[in-house]
Homo-oligomer: A and B are copies of this chain.
Amino acid sequence: MANKQHDVPDIVVGRLPIYLRALSSMLAAGKQYTSSHELAVWLGISSTQIRKDLSHFGEFGKQGTGYSVIGLHDQLRQILHLDREWPLIVVGAGNIGNAVASYTGFARRGFRVVAVFDNDPVKISSLVGSFTVRSNSEIPAFTRANRVRHAMIAVPAQFAQEVADLLVASGILSILNYAPINLSVPDPVHVEYIDPVLHLQKMTYYLV
């Protein structure tokens, strides 16, 4: 993912949510302080890397006491713009669309699914989780009216690019793509990919 407007490397930005997730677990466990060494053990990322990543955003830890868990947690939430709730739409009401629309883990972490779309007449108006599936043709008006910036694509690979084009034209800026295909989007728009097979294939390299 290109990173033109900011001077923090994209790969560093990608690790911040991982730190945030660990800090949330620590908070839930009632932990008050942590250190780059403890985070390193939790996450399998070196403590030097963690300190270097965080140093892009200022001074966080104190010599001797380390990081305040809630302090670092809240600052990371702010840096990632997660100190508010972002509406999120799902395009594609198949198995994956169903699973993400029903997933209860978004809310605590900054996102809320607000609508599910599909272009299959059989699926439109059916119920997916607690959502009545809407037609893809409603996407532009819906996203504008609700100031939606985030979308998930959960349609078959051959339709993913046309859905992405429609989303971009509708003002979406962040696309999480579950279709196993690379998407082409114009510059202010970001795409991330979820493809379980890539992970399985990578691990298989180490077998045999």
- Top 3 A-B pairs ranked by shortest CB distance? A174-B203, A192-B199, A17-B201
Q: Please, which residue of chain B has its CB at the minimum distance from the CB of A95?
A: B99
How far is A18 from B193 in the complex, measured between Cα atoms in Å? 11
Q: Find residues 1-47 in chain A having any chain B CB closer than 8 Å to their own CB.
A: 1-3, 5-6, 13-14, 16-18, 20-22, 25, 42-44
Q: Are B16 and A202 in touch, CB under 8 angstroms?
A: yes
Interface membership of A208, Cβ < 8 A: yes
Residues of B within 8 A of A208 (CB): 81
Interface membership of A134, Cβ < 8 A: no
Question: How far does the Cβ of A27 sit from chain B's closest Cβ, in whole Å?
Answer: 14
How far is A43 from B1 in the complex, measured between Cα atoms in Å? 10
Set B88, B98, B182: member contacting A95, Cβ < 8 A: B98
Residues of B within 8 A of A174 (CB): 200, 203-204, 206-207
Q: Are B98 and A198 in touch, CB under 8 angstroms?
A: no
Given A6-B205, A17-B202, A109-B201, 6 further pairs, Cβ under 8 A: A21-B198, A44-B182, A80-B204, A95-B102, A98-B99, A149-B207
Residues of B within 8 A of A131 (CB): none
Q: Are B13 and A205 in touch, CB under 8 angstroms?
A: yes
Question: How far does the Cβ of A183 sit from chain B's closest Cβ, in whole Å?
Answer: 10
Residues of B within 8 A of A110 (CB): 197, 200-201, 204
26 A–B contacts from the bound complex (CB under 8 Å): A1-B44, A13-B202, A13-B206, A14-B198, A17-B197, A17-B198, A21-B182, A21-B198, A22-B182, A25-B181, A25-B182, A82-B201, A86-B204, A95-B102, A98-B98, A99-B99, A100-B196, A109-B201, A110-B200, A110-B201, A110-B204, A150-B204, A173-B207, A174-B206, A176-B199, A192-B200
